[in-house]
Amino acid sequence: MIASMTGFASGKGSLAPHSWSWELRSVNGKGQDIRVRVPDWVTGLEASLRKDVAAATARGNITIGLRLIREDATAALCLNQAQLEGVLAAMHQIEEQAMSEGLSLAPSTAADIVALRGVMDSAQTEDDPAPLLKALQADFKPVLKAYLEMRNNEGAALNALLQEQLSTIERLTAEAMAAAKARQAESDTAFRENVKRITENSELDEARIAQELAMLAVKADITEEIDRLGTHAQAARELLETGGPVGRKLDFLSQEFNREANTLCSKSQNAALTRIGLDLKATIDQMREQIQNVE
């Protein structure tokens, strides 16, 4: 089974007095790029998340986000006496210097002082991050599972679409071979008629005519392109059946498909064959766009 590089999952959890929400998302990428946004004070969490995601994926630009909130409405506030004394001493020094320079300062209120950082502290104690780390690691697992399921579901849809496009390429390839055979007979007849008109009053060696016809056939022969298109289609189907991170190989095959279709168009010399070649190119371009989503 192939997987898409595009995916999203979210989740919520809690362990008193904390609650949190997860976001795990990814988009297409040439390699594996994992970005983690989590609080750095939960020691070991980032490394753990990065390891889990790296083991479960092969490609994609992946972002892990955690919003962690402490919900402790009962925590009382207390006055930080040392900080208050430091603030008052600094205020006194500022007022003395201002007065010595003839400046007048507006009086500060108690609310102004309380609002200063560090004057009021919460009475709560610092938590041990170990239980929180364990809870977060466990809570992330279903989020990762949901994310991988989404990638796999999109991969299944991609597989069906790519199989359909490969069938179209195989059908057009068969039509191209039939058109090439019909074109050859028409080309031989047209060539002989042109030679006959040019040499009405003289004779031309039949061997020379056969030689020219053979040279024209070689220049217009698309058998090799037809064979390669068939081989590439079979290789692509085998990769889809194998599954796993095959996006790079499929992308390389799509380039080879396009090269053969371009050569076929350049050798067509026939309206029907040119139309088939253009249809091939359009289908191959559509397939290549979808392959960019494959892991």
Kindly provide the b/e burial profile for residues 250-282, where b requires at least 16 CB atoms within 10 angstroms of the residue's own CB: beebbebbbebbeebbebbebeebbbbbebbbe
SS (H, E, C) the chain: CCCECCEEEEEEEEECCEEEEEEEEEECCCCEEEEEECCCCCCCHHHHHHHHHHHHCCCEEEEEEEEEEECCCCCCEEECHHHHHHHHHHHHHHHHHHHHCCCCCCCCCHHHHHCCCCCEEECCCCCCHHHHHHHHHHHHHHHHHHHHHHHHHHHHHHHHHHHHHHHHHHHHHHHHHHHHHHHHHHHHHHHHHHHHHHCCCCCCCHHHHHHHHHHHHHHHCCHHHHHHHHHHHHHHHHHHHHCCCCHHHHHHHHHHHHHHHHHHHHHCCCHHHHHHHHHHHHHHHHHHHHHCCEC
Centre a 10 Å sphere on the Cβ of residue 33 and count the other Cβ atoms it contains: 13
CA distances in angstroms from 54 to 58, 64, 117, 140, listed in the order given: 7, 12, 41, 14
List, in sequence order, every residue forming a beta bridge with 138; answer none if it has no partner. Answer: none
**Closest by Cα among 146, 192, 193, 173 to 236:** 173
Amino acid at 19: S
By the 8 A CB rule, do 6 and 153 touch?
A: no
Average pLDDT taken over every residue of the chain: 85
Q: Angle formed by the axes of helices 271-291 and 247-267, to 10°?
A: 170
Q: Which domains can be identified in the chain, with CATH numbers?
A: 7-73+131-152 (3.30.230.10), 77-122 (no CATH), 155-291 (1.20.120)
Say yes or no to pLDDT of 199 above 80: no
Q: How far apart are CA 285 and CA 238, in angstroms?
A: 20
Q: How far apart are CA 287 and CA 169, in angstroms?
A: 10
pLDDT in tens, 125-159: 456 789 999 999 999 999 999 999 999 999 999 99
**Tokens describing residue 100:** 């010595």
pLDDT at 75: 52
By the 8 A CB rule, do 199 and 143 touch?
A: no
Mean pLDDT of 237-258: 93
Mean pLDDT of 223-231: 91
pTM of the model: 0.71
pLDDT at 64: 97
By the 8 A CB rule, do 59 and 247 touch?
A: yes
Most confident of 68-77, 177-186, 244-253: 244-253
Mean pLDDT of 255-261: 94
* CB hemisphere CA count around 72 (13 angstroms): 15
Reported as a pLDDT band with limits 50, 70 and 90, residue 101 is confident
pLDDT in tens, 263-278: 988 887 788 889 999 9
pLDDT at 179: 87
Pairing of strands 18-27, 32-37: unpaired
